Each structure stands twice: as C-alpha cells, then as structure tokens.
Amino acid sequence: MNILQIVKKGDLHAQHGEVMDIANPSEEHAMLRSMVRDWVNEFVEPQAFEHDKHERFNLDLLRSMGDMGLLGISAPEEHGGAGLDATACAIVHEELSASDPGFALAYLAHAMLFVNNLAYNGNEDQKARILPKVCSGEWIGAMAMSEPDAGTDVLGLTTSAVQQDDGTWKLNGRKMWITNGCLDETGTPADVVWVYARTGTDDKGRVQLSTFLVEAGMPGYSVGQKIYDKTGMRASNTAELVFDDCIVPAENLVGGLGESLIHMMCNLEVERLTLAAMSLGIGRRCLDEMNRYATDRTAFRNKIRDFGQIQKHIGDSWAKYRAMRAYIYDTAANMKLGKAGHRLDSDGVKLFSSTAAKEIADSAIQVMGGYGYVGEYHVERLWRDSKLLEIGGGTIESHQKNIVKDLFKNPESVNQ
Ligand SMILES: Cc1cc2nc3c(=O)[nH]c(=O)nc-3n(C[C@H](O)[C@H](O)[C@H](O)COP(=O)(O)OP(=O)(O)OC[C@H]3O[C@@H](n4cnc5c(N)ncnc54)[C@H](O)[C@@H]3O)c2cc1C
C-alpha cells in the first residue's frame, strides 16, 4: 500500500474541518464539565480559602454532591451510581481541583478509593447493601493501605486479620495518612473503610493480603488522631486509624483471601489518573491567575507580560498545561474502569502532571511577586496542595520504577 491508497480510503479526511477536543470527547462530557464548573463556582470557590486556613473539611458540601450523582460517578446505575467512564472521572477531579484541591482530594478518597473499588471488586451483596449509601452521601468512605512503617513498600504492611471460630475476622494494626479517616474535629471515624490486611502467607511463602470492609460502630475501630499542620490539602481530613481487636463479620471480606493485590492494581490506575487530573486543575487555575495578573500589573511603565523573563514563566506553563491535558485525556480514553492493564500510562501521566502542576504553581507565585505569596491570591495554596500529588497515590520515584519495569517487559510500548 502506498500513501495515495491510504488517502483514497478517506481516513485521513475523516476529521478534516472538525474541532476535536480531547478533554470533552462527547457532548455528555462537555455538559458534565459545564455542570460541575458552575457548581464549583457557586459552592466550592467561596469556601476554599477559609477551609484551608482553618484546616477544616467541609463534610456537608461533600455529602451534597450525592444529590448531583457525583459521589457514585463510576458506580453502576442499579446501585445509585451514574455509571460513567474514566474521562468523566477525570473531568470532575480537574474541575474541583481548579478551585479547591483539598476538597477534591476528599472527593477522590470517597468516590475513587472507596466507591469505585467496591463497584468493581465487591460482590453483589456488598454492592447492594453499601453502594446506595455511599452514592447518596449518607455514608462517607475511605481507603486504608498506608501504615506508619509501610507506604511504598506495600507488602511490608503489618495490620493483620485472623479468622475466629465463629467465622468473624479480628483485625489488629494502625493505618496512617488516611484521607476521610476522620470526618470532623471530634474524631468521628469514616462511615466505612476499605482496609488492606495481612492474612498469612500463600503456598510459596509470599505475604497474603486481603481486603475488608470496616464500618463505623464495629468494635475496636477508631480514630487514633487527626493529622494537623500538613503542608497542603488542609481542607481534607487526614487521620491515623486504629484497629484494636476489631471484629469484622465474615461477609465483609472482599473477594477471596489474598486478592488485595488485584484490587489494588486495578484501582490504583484510576486513582493515579484522577490525581493527575487534580494536577491539571491546579495547573489551569495557576496559569489563568498569572496570565491575568501579568496584564494588570505594570512596572517600569510596562505591563509585566512584556518582560521576557515573565514570558518564559507564562509560555513554559502553557506548554506544560497543554501537554498534561493531552496526556491525561488520552490515558482516560484508553482506560477501561475495573480492568487493570494501563499501569504504564497511569504512572506516566501522574509522574508528569504532578511535577508540572507544582512548577506552574511556582511560576504563578513568581509572576505575581509578593501578592502571589499570600493566601488571598490563591496560588500559594495551590502550590502547597500540588506537592502532595508527588507523594500520595504513589511517589514520583515509584512511578519511575514502574515505568522502567514495564518498558523492560514490553519494549515495543515505545514504538506503538
Ligand atoms: C495528605 C495525604 C493523604 C494520604 N491519603 C492516603 C489514603 O487515603 N490512603 C492511604 O492508604 N494512604 C494515603 N496516603 C499515604 C501515601 O500514599 C504515602 O505517603 C505514599 O504512598 C508514600 O509512602 P510513605 O509516606 O510511607 O513514604 P515511603 O514509602 O517511606 O517513602 C519515602 C521516600 O523513599 C522513596 N522510596 C521508597 N521506596 C523506594 C524504592 N524502592 N526506590 C526508590 N525510592 C524509594 C519514596 O519515593 C520516598 O521518596 C496519604 C498521604 C498524605 C501525605
């Protein structure tokens, strides 16, 4: 086949004249974005500054997202969800984070780390009983993997679960850094937590991790402490959770024994995609702020946007913003929720976007000078929030290692 034969097939002309917006691939996606953006402007933006300042989580605002169907965005409709795809998930996270990344993180912990996990890995009974509650906002969920002595090294976690004679499980251990782990200032624990625990070793002597649904009121489940003085994401609650002879009924084991790694691998991909989308929201907002400011501000009788060094900050930020936007929505379009197999790009997109967002936020502060350095102008908050995205959901070092591992297994990925 030569080039003329390809042209005759008409494929090269298929998109001619049409504007293709990778971030809004369908009319429904564009409508979702517009609905969320309007809601964010009306309800999220006015509270963002104060909640960050006082390290307060806006629980009522999160619950209210259930009315719009956003809390179960990827959960099946039959259980109260909206049944939407990975692109829709990315859109919601981008829009929330452009205003309030701390609040967006609380949403992510609920909608992605808990609800999406249950929707794709829970059994029918668990889904029928719990999904309607978490999709409506009656219950707020969390996911507990990290521990005081084990983060990146997941197989090093020590929280244990031992089955009792009556079939119930007894959990012992502590979980650290759990977003939504506590819901308020009085130590009320998350209504339901997706907990990873050690249940022994398999036939080959490898650590066996299993997944449990722990619900508020189960004996032995409590908040150890709410963690204060975080650099950023101060509008979300981060807590240590304690499981002290915590009794969990047999029916709250998710999947079979030793299946946690499957749950983790599958859910980490959408977690990383949506954390990248949060980075995009931060990058977009910071670029918008610095671009407007550079027009309004004059120095030496010129708009500061006429200075070459300011142009470098804005020009480089635009290119980074557009690059991450394309990579995020390309990854989302290729991601099938509930199916693992997108690790290379879910790691790649978070690796690139988290650092790009931090750099754009840093440029925004620099362009805005002293004003950029104080809270009222937003970008210093976004700069602090952006740092978490290089750590949570996998550190940038872990993404680099995973990418190199995957490219070793499949070198042809580079040429596809
Ligand atoms: C605000 C916030 C919210 C969070 N929310 C949650 C949550 O909801 N649920 C949850 O389970 N966890 C949560 N986390 C935990 C988060 O996922 C971990 O902090 C993260 O996985 C890193 O683990 P760690 O902090 O134990 O660091 P470590 O794993 O101890 O890493 C320390 C440093 O060593 C590096 N390192 C580790 N191993 C290697 C290696 N093999 N090669 C090269 N470098 C390496 C890391 O990249 C990092 O730079 C949250 C954390 C924060 C700060």
Same domain as 284, residue 184: no
What's 121's domain CATH number? 1.10.540.10
Same domain as 206, residue 313: no
Q: Is residue 2 part of a domain?
A: no
Residue 103 clears pLDDT 60, i.e. is over it: yes
Q: Is residue 4 part of a domain?
A: no
What's 271's domain CATH number? 1.20.140.10
pTM: 0.96
Report residue 6 CA to chain centroid gap: 41
Same domain as 268, residue 212: no
The range of the structural domain enclosing residue 162 comes to 141-258
How many Å apart are CA 122 and CA 119, to the nearest integer? 6
Same domain as 355, residue 283: yes
Same domain as 273, residue 167: no
Which of 103, 136, 169 is the last residue in one of the domains? 136
Q: Is residue 300 part of a domain?
A: yes
Which of 221, 238, 258 is the last residue in one of the domains? 258
Q: Is residue 97 part of a domain?
A: yes
Residue 10 clears pLDDT 70, i.e. is over it: no
pLDDT confidence of residue 15: 54
Average pLDDT, the chain: 95
Same domain as 96, residue 232: no
The number of distinct structural domains making up the chain is: 3
Q: Is 146 in the pocket of ligand 1 (CB under 6 A)?
A: yes
Same domain as 366, residue 270: yes
- Going from the Cα of 391 to the center of ligand 1, the distance in angstroms, rounded, reads 6
Contacts of 325 (CB under 8 A, 6+ apart): 22, 23, 280, 284
For the chain, how long is the longest CA-to-CA vector? 81
Residue 33 clears pLDDT 80, i.e. is over it: yes
Please give the structure tokens belonging to residue 64: 């209210």
Report which residue type is found at 123.
N
How many Å apart are CA 388 and CA 235, to the nearest integer? 13
Exposure string over 223-232, b if 16+ CB within 10 A, otherwise e: bbebbeebeb
Confidence class of residue 35 from pLDDT cuts 50, 70 and 90?
Answer: very high
CA nearest ligand 1 atom 4, residue: 177
The preferred substitution site among 112, 149, 152 for testing ligand 1, maximizing ligand atoms within 8 Å of CB, is: 152
Which of 226, 258, 290 is the last residue in one of the domains? 258
Q: Is 402 in the pocket of ligand 1 (CB under 6 A)?
A: no
Q: Is 151 in the pocket of ligand 1 (CB under 6 A)?
A: yes
Q: Is 353 in the pocket of ligand 1 (CB under 6 A)?
A: no
Residue 7 clears pLDDT 70, i.e. is over it: no
**Tens digits of residue pLDDT in 297-332:** 999 999 999 999 999 999 999 999 999 999 999 999
For 3-7, 63-67, 92-96, 265-269, which range has the lowest pLDDT when averaged over its residues?
3-7
3-state DSSP of 345-381: HHHHHHHHHHHHHHHHHHHHHHHHHHHHCCHHHCHHH
Same domain as 269, residue 193: no
Same domain as 344, residue 287: yes
Same domain as 152, residue 122: no
pLDDT confidence of residue 202: 85
**Tens digits of residue pLDDT in 182-218:** 999 999 999 999 999 999 998 888 899 999 999 999 9
Same domain as 361, residue 308: yes
pLDDT confidence of residue 12: 53
Beta strand 298-299 pairing with 302-303: antiparallel
Q: Is residue 22 part of a domain?
A: no
pLDDT confidence of residue 4: 67
- What φ, ψ does residue 236 adopt, rounded to 5°? -110, 150
What is the mean pLDDT of the segment spanning 76-92?
97
List residues with catalytic annotation: 271
Same domain as 132, residue 83: yes
What's 157's domain CATH number? 2.40.110.10
What is the mean pLDDT of the segment spanning 392-414?
97
